[in-house]
Structure 1
């Protein structure tokens, strides 16, 4: 099971005051922008990265989006080198979909509790013991785990894919996020055997504190990512992926929006809904274990200092063996084919 001990074992500080705060106008910022443009490196950044990284991506011709749209955008880019600002599985996914391109990351130690909590060897044994089931994995997994799957899904496509399999009489192995899996199971009624993983950010949201916050806030709606715990999701007015949450905020008629996901999303959400008061869902409580909650500590490893070093020296390359690329691509392509047949939008609207 994913836990804060994973972070401690990696010696990652939870103090987000250490994040590089260089901003637009600083010489370092301008220098990085010039290097990206001069070397024709496309910066693709996740919604959860620090705002200065997102600004840099926007202003140098890159993109800020969810994990799979980042990789998909890389396929459309004319650049032969992509700089992926996010966590490691995102860089691997970009390499799977763009094996001919060089994929750089600001920091190769930027991991993910869902990825770390699902080791490929252990997962293989789990699948072998339950080989009568279809293997469905979330996008937030390593290339080696994806290579063992029949299907890969995003948070926005998971319900439809699992419902499709359930209607065909398939039993399912689901990995790695048990809370997202529980949400999907409640929506579909499918027979799902869950891997015991979780996101260390989303499992910190506290249901009772959320009730109290809603009770004292007028003209309010709750928006939640489906990686959150059941008691939080049951209070939400809208549950959706990162991009879906931003889209909902833009169209909401409520003045106040309580958002249960990583607070890095607030940069793009504020752009989309500038007149909304965006409120972080509470993570405080007796059982809270973090000092800087609702923020992924690994995402904070994406800063301007590490980014500059990566593009200057062209190091921190993501390498995925060709055999793994071949196998890991299959469940992704299966999702794309399913989405095409069902007229779903997979990238840029429904992803993790």
Structure 2
């Protein structure tokens, strides 16, 4: 594998890509900002959304963050309408925490492979069969799964939360990501029974190819999201949530960073640290090609026109609706999560 091959195939750089012309940026900014003002609304977007979405969200005074900060921002912002740009569980989380607010999404078809991998009926049976365990579920789950749980966790606080429960003598059910569950178990030594789910983006990273890439760039730091497979995590210099990886990219002395997560995180990294080089970790090997290629297809369904349509039309095609009884049940573990995060003083 030559260095030229790696550069052509593996570097993902927004520096070389004009995400929108200036005229287009101005058009979308004015149109969306006008609608946001009319509707008393704010955009809450994830780091994995397309760069033009992140640009407009920041430009209009909204939030671009990981799922924990998205939840906190939406709960504390005075806007009466939240436009959640991400995947469906993020919009549902916003509605659970803010029942009085109008929660819109550019599309309700933006699913999550982890959410899909954990159907309510099967998971409830799994919990019933292991009723002596405390149920901790990842934020990447439906309202119904959250309602069945004792705790909700994001990747930024999962290790600390399970370590806390382990010290209390609790045995854990963790769902749905088995890679993240393994990572938590290794860090905490807790008794964890994992649901067998994976993220289609992170599950594709290949350790053999990553080792080759590291040998070509020995000075590079490897940053890995904990939803990645065990052999990828073992190669990491830093393992963490999206916000933790962005912080590490800023604070590490390395001028070259290899990142194993959705490549749209590079928009924020390169915007904040333009002097560094960012390479996407390999998602294919010598004998295989990637299917997702470090790009969540559901996140990619969120467009600027979708934001305009949601704000302009405010129809059931964009509105998050949740049964009130189910919402109240799901609110309990979510509030526990937010209170626990607050006690850790997570920034």
Q: Same fold (TM over 0.5)?
A: yes
Q: Give how far 1:261 is off.
A: 0.4
For residues 194 and 161 of structure 2, what CA distance do their matches in structure 1 show? 16
Q: Deviations over 1:191-215 (max 9, x none)?
A: 1111000000000000000000000
**Is the contact between residue 204 and residue 288 of structure 1 (CA under 8 Å) also seen in structure 2?**
no
For residues 63 and 239 of structure 1, what CA distance do their matches in structure 2 show? 24
Q: Secondary structure at the match of 2:156?
A: coil
Partner of 2:212: 212
For residues 126 and 182 of structure 2, what CA distance do their matches in structure 1 show? 19
- Within the alignment, does 1:337 sit opposite 2:339 as a pair? yes
Runs of 4+ that moved beyond 6 A = none
Alignment of 1:1-352 (within 5 A): 23-26=21-24, 27-285=27-285, 286-290=287-291, 292-315=292-315, 316-340=318-342, 343-346=343-346, 349=347
For residues 252 and 319 of structure 2, what CA distance do their matches in structure 1 show? 41
The 1:103–1:83 alpha-carbon spacing in structure 2 relative to 1, beyond 3 Å, is: same
For residues 35 and 23 of structure 1, what CA distance do their matches in structure 2 show? 21
Stretches of structure 1 that go unaligned for 5 or more consecutive residues are 1-20
Q: Secondary structure at the match of 2:103?
A: strand
Q: Secondary structure at the match of 1:25?
A: helix
**Is the contact between residue 29 and residue 304 of structure 1 (CA under 8 Å) also seen in structure 2?**
no
> Which stretch shifts more, 120-129 or 107-116?
120-129
Q: Give how far 1:54 is off.
A: 0.5
Q: Give how far 1:289 is off.
A: 4.3
Q: Give how far 1:29 is off.
A: 4.7
For residues 200 and 270 of structure 1, what CA distance do their matches in structure 2 show? 24
Q: Give how far 1:50 is off.
A: 0.3
The 1:215–1:117 alpha-carbon spacing in structure 2 relative to 1, beyond 3 Å, is: same
Q: Give how far 1:153 is off.
A: 1.0
Q: Secondary structure at the match of 2:284?
A: coil
> Which stretch shifts more, 177-186 or 72-81?
72-81
Q: Give how far 1:28 is off.
A: 4.4
**Is the contact between residue 29 and residue 59 of structure 2 (CA under 8 Å) also seen in structure 1?**
no
For residues 22 and 198 of structure 2, what CA distance do their matches in structure 1 show? 35
> Which stretch shifts more, 83-92 or 157-166?
157-166
Q: Give how far 1:324 is off.
A: 1.3
Q: Deviations over 1:3-61 (max 9, x none)?
A: xxxxxxxxxxxxxxxxxx65552234532232223322101110000001001111111
Calculate the aligned-residue CA RMSD, in Å.
Answer: 1.4
State the number of aligned residues: 324
Q: Secondary structure at the match of 2:23?
A: coil
Q: Deviations over 1:120-160 (max 9, x none)?
A: 11111111111111101011111110000011111121111
Q: Secondary structure at the match of 1:330?
A: helix
Stretches of structure 2 that go unaligned for 5 or more consecutive residues are 1-18
